[in-house]
A and B are shown apart, each in its own frame.
Chain A
Amino acid sequence: MTPTIAILLIITFVLSTVGLLLLIWSIANNQFSHGQDAARTIFSPGEEGHSEDPARPSDQTFTGDNSEQAEAIEARWIADQSSRTAVLTWLSSSVFWLLLGSFFGLASSIKMHLPEFLTASEFLTFGRIRPVHLNAVTYGWASMAGIGVALFLIPRLFKTSLVGGRYAVIGGFIWNIGLVLGLSAITLGLSDGEEWLEFPWQIDILFVLGGALCAIPLLLTAANRKVEHLYVTSWYLMAALVWFPFLFLIANLPFAFPGASGATVNWWFAHNVLGLWVTPIGIGIAYYMIPKILGKPIISYQLSLIGFWSLALFYSQVGIHHLIGGPIPTWLVTLSIVHSVMMSIPVITVAINHHGTMVGNFGRLKDSPTLRFVWIGALMYTVASLQGSMEALRSINVITHFTHYTVAHAHLGMYAFLSFILFGAVYFIMPRLTNWEWPWRKLISLHFWLVSIGILIYVVSLTVAGWKQGVALLDAAMPFMDIVKMTLPALQARTVGGALMTLGHLVFAFHFIAMLMRSGAATEQPTLFRPATKETAQ
């Protein structure tokens, strides 16, 4: 034990010295000086003060007041078109996996309170369809939609055309093949056996390859960029695309980590998939969408950089809070708890920026579908993250660990935060790529209300029941079967919530396909060049 403590002390000392030197260096080199200018890089000249939301019925589309401004808008249109094939490949695939994942999730939920539902076949037993649900929505929906949106934002952020988009298209195909093989493997009972890492490692190589192929256009486009400042969204996207292949590769190294140390690697990875992969993508998108729709830069650019680096530092070490009370060294658990609590720093800085920028503009939530989805997603990020910090405390964790409470928390993060932001981004992006209006705006509303009410029922019922379950488990006076019976109403409510969400996804997918096929009434002009006179009529 003593050498471990000695090494820890040395690492802590070296770290704080390096951190101090970095701070001195960054102040000396004016790293903190590029303030609000950088925050404005997302606007084309003269665009500030004008909203951009192609999904909004009364959008005052800014087309430039003079020829120079009009040229900049035209250049952005060309940049948008350059990423078209790549973005549509990833987004279309993600919508398919969302539907598949939803059906498997719903079936898993039904099985929890109707255990005799579909038991005859081994391919549909609970222990197989549940991981199919998780992997389909994580690696299929969230990751593919996230990469799709990132591919759309990259040329916009760098103000140039996407270079090497075909690598991303090939990457998308490889990623899809990986999903088909991986989900089939789980169904056939060939799971690797660790949560979040169920795909057999041989198949995981395809994901590393597919992800790496997406990094090529990112690097090529960054090298070609025409902006001086790197907007904060690009920080998050670049970091996420560095982190994911690295994480996925180490965690899947076959036979490297046996026994209890395998559990630490498992949860180091699983929480980093959330913290260093989907979270930076989600926050990054919100950092772009909120100011863009409001036509107003984020309130503090410096704060956003502190938020980025503190997220990187703290989020990367929270994973072991999944093993509180488990058979691993105490220092390791404590380290993760400390980092989990420290996560409130990046969360609060991001919250100040996201919500602070919204102040005075909440009325816009009424008519902008993208803003509504993205901002609610950003709000749920704040809520889910602070809840997560609390759950990492030993006194809370002793109750919530091993219960449905954690499941509710996971869906608050992956769904109410991330998926909402992705929905909002898709509503923003599709009209830009297809040059077509969303045909039925009422469907956007319907989608919003179905998934919102669905996730509300889901989270509330499981949170309450999970807490009661956790308290009861601590005291052996209550027999185990009584606890099971106590949670049943919540498990049934979850099926209702899940069914509403699945219904919402059907509406969303239908609308998405209609967009791809350019259904509905033709407007006289593409969304981008919709004349500003249009909304005065409404």
Chain B
Amino acid sequence: MKRALAIMVGAALILLLATLTLVVMPYLQMSAEQVPPDLKPYTEQQQRGRQVYIANGCVYCHSQQPRDPSFAPGDKDRGWGRPSVPGDYAYDEPHLLGTMRTGPDLFNIGARQPSIDWQLMHLYNPKAIIKGSIMPSYPFLFRHVKEPVEGDKVVNIPPPYGPETGKIVATEDALALAEYMLALDHTYPAPTLPKAPPKSDEPKENRAP
């Protein structure tokens, strides 16, 4: 029993060490990071949209973490934005960094597609906007009505993607999700960016199309 116990205690101690280095220390360091002054907390509606994003698993195809152009030039060149810093995620609970790019990075989708109509149309049927897209459509986020009433957000879907009669109206969830998309705009300067040598970076930026 003594040896069995020694193995288990040893195993637990090693995991404790890993917890210190990979959980506790990063937490201490990153929670001390400065929150960028231009970063706004989510509104109630945006937060609700974030929950819709989580519930429908957008994170399995979309990342929210552009990499440094000196490391992976494609991220910035595709217009996904400057490399993100810990402070950018100060209001993110839970984080949605993502690990897959079946679809593009969304860290700055609000800056790239600032129109709520674009966002709603795209959610109703991505193919209506982007030919060949393999993103699923989300018809359950919309209602099909004969006559929209006062206050309904009507989404005009180009034929042949819309219904033949009646109108498509966004639900509260769809509106919230679209608002969250628009809130994903981190184009402000990041004060806590690691100070990379600026001279070597500048020509690269000029070369970018």
Contact = CB atoms under 8 A, between A and B. Distances in A.
Contact of B71 (A116, A242, A394, A484): A394
Interface string B59-75: 11101010110011110
B63 A402 contact: yes
A7 B17 CA distance: 13
A155 interface: no
Interface stretch (B5-13, B40-48, B113-121, B151-159): B5-13
Interface stretch (A96-104, A291-299, A378-386, A468-476): A468-476
Contact of B140 (A15, A113, A121): A121
Contact of A193 (B78, B96, B130): B96
Contacts of B162: none
Interface in A435-487: 473-476, 480-481, 484-485
A401 to B, nearest CB: 7
A235 B26 contact: no
Contact of A261 (B14, B17, B30, B58): B30
A268 B71 contact: no
Nearest to A325: B67
B92 interface: yes
Contact of B74 (A230, A250, A336, A476): A476
B94 interface: yes
A303 interface: no
B90 A398 contact: no
Interface string A253-287: 00101111111111010001000100000000000
B22 A264 contact: yes
A137 interface: no
A475 B73 CA distance: 7
A228 to B, nearest CB: 10
A276 B91 CA distance: 31
Interface in A210-266: 222-223, 225, 230, 234-235, 238-239, 242-243, 246-247, 250, 255, 257-266
What range describes how many residues of A lie at the interface? 35 or more
B67 A312 contact: no
Contacts of B135: 115
B23 interface: yes
A316 B18 contact: yes
Contact of A329 (B3, B29, B57): B29
B141 to A, nearest CB: 8
Nearest to B101: A402
Contacts of A488: 134
A259 B93 contact: yes
A258 B54 CA distance: 15
Given A193-B94, A262-B92, A327 B21 contact: no
B34 to A, nearest CB: 13
How extensive is the interface on chain B, given as a class?
Answer: 35 or more
B72 A398 contact: yes
A260 B95 contact: yes
Interface class of chain A by DSSP: helix
A150 to B, nearest CB: 14
Contact of B95 (A112, A128, A259): A259
B17 to A, nearest CB: 7
A514 interface: no
Contact of A122 (B4, B67, B104, B140): B140
Nearest to A215: B8
Contacts of B194: 330
Given A193-B54, A406-B99, A481-B131, A222 B93 contact: no
B25 A4 contact: yes
Nearest to B55: A189
B160 interface: no
A356 interface: no
Given A238-B8, A332-B26, A481-B133, A316 B17 contact: yes
B181 interface: no
A276 B3 CA distance: 20
A480 B7 contact: no
A259 B71 CA distance: 23
B139 A119 contact: yes
B7 A238 contact: yes
A289 to B, nearest CB: 21
B92 A115 contact: no
A514 to B, nearest CB: 37
Contacts of B140: 120-122, 125
Interface of B: 1, 3-4, 7-8, 10-12, 14-15, 17-23, 25-27, 29-31, 54-61, 63, 65, 67-68, 71-74, 77-78, 83-86, 88-102, 104, 126-127, 130-141, 194, 209
7 contacts: A119-B138, A125-B138, A195-B99, A234-B4, A325-B68, A326-B67, A327-B97
Given A238-B11, A257-B23, A260-B89, 11 more contacts: A111-B136, A112-B102, A112-B134, A125-B138, A250-B23, A255-B93, A261-B30, A328-B26, A403-B101, A473-B72, A476-B74
